[in-house]
Structure 1
Amino acid sequence: MPRTLTTWLLIAAAAAIAVLPVLIGAADHLPEPFPGADAEAEEAVQRIDPDYEPWFTPVYEAPSSEIESGLFALQAAIGAGIIGYCFGVLRTRRRLERSGAPGTRAAEASAPGGGPGAKRGGAAR
């Protein structure tokens, strides 16, 4: 299968995963259509132990759920950017090593007298 077709199929699958729950009304029975895991956990704790008192308060509490959701999306985007950058660096490094570009291990190993075990500077003893 050509790479471009695979790419478009993956994009279509990701879009379907994102859109289908909204179209079929997966959260219609809930009071809030997209409750977070925190809200569901809080409800579960209240059902199990109604007298439970939280021992920690958040450092920052967003004034609305929209702002909280936006901050979460920003955090996810920053994390995805960092992970993408790391993958890009590793992939480029591997490509350069395979091509034998200057400054890579492959180029040093192929140079006369080079390589990781070669002695540098001075006469042999």
Structure 2
Amino acid sequence: MKKQNVILLLFVIALAVVPLIIHTDGIFSGADEQLVGIVKGVSPDYEPWFNTIWEPPSGEVESFLFAVQAGLGAGFLGYFFGYYRGRNASRTE
């Protein structure tokens, strides 16, 4: 591997690991959960406008569905940019 790639890989690993080391007692919750707490603090009698249609049976299923959604989105974007880059490269030749 090139030296530049190794440095970038170490940087990415550090970005993922350092926050976990620094905040060992931190609570990593989603923005939705934090917002509910803030809204309840400001207006305790607040009622949501609607409820979810389907709630996943567990947090693991919810995480899995989120990962699938992220993977499909990344695959679509990679295909889209690769296709148009290849098409433009073939036109310039």
Q: TM-score, normalised by structure 1?
A: 0.65
Closer, same or farther: CA 97–20 of 1 in aligned 2, 3 Å:
same
Whichever residue aligns with residue 15 of structure 2, its letter is I
The answer to whether residue 58 in structure 2 is matched with residue 70 in structure 1 is no
Whichever residue aligns with residue 37 of structure 2, its letter is E
Deviation at 1:40, TM superposition (A): 0.7
The answer to whether residue 86 in structure 2 is matched with residue 88 in structure 1 is no
Mark the structure with the bigger radius of gyration.
Answer: 1
Say which of 18, 28, 33 aligns to 2:16. Answer: 18
Residue in structure 2 matched with residue 35 of structure 1 by the alignment: 29
When you count helix as a share of all residues, which structure comes out higher? Answer: 2
Closer, same or farther: CA 75–28 of 1 in aligned 2, 3 Å:
same
Residue in structure 2 matched with residue 98 of structure 1 by the alignment: 92
Deviations 1:69-89 (A, max 9, x none): 221111111111111111111
Deviation at 1:67, TM superposition (A): 1.6
Please list every run of 5 or more consecutive structure 2 residues that lacks an aligned counterpart in the other structure.
none
Please list every run of 5 or more consecutive structure 1 residues that lacks an aligned counterpart in the other structure.
100-125
Superposition RMSD on alpha carbons, in Å? Answer: 1.9
DSSP 3-state at the match of 1:76? helix
Aligned equivalents of 1:58 and 1:6: distance in 2?
46
Whichever residue aligns with residue 11 of structure 2, its letter is A
Aligned equivalents of 2:33 and 2:24: distance in 1?
14
Deviation at 1:58, TM superposition (A): 1.1
Residue in structure 2 matched with residue 120 of structure 1 by the alignment: none
Q: TM-score, normalised by structure 2?
A: 0.84
Residue in structure 2 matched with residue 8 of structure 1 by the alignment: 6
Compare relative contact order (CA 8 Å, sep 6+) and give the higher one, 1 or 2. 2
Residue in structure 2 matched with residue 55 of structure 1 by the alignment: 49
Deviation at 1:27, TM superposition (A): 5.7
DSSP 3-state at the match of 1:22? helix
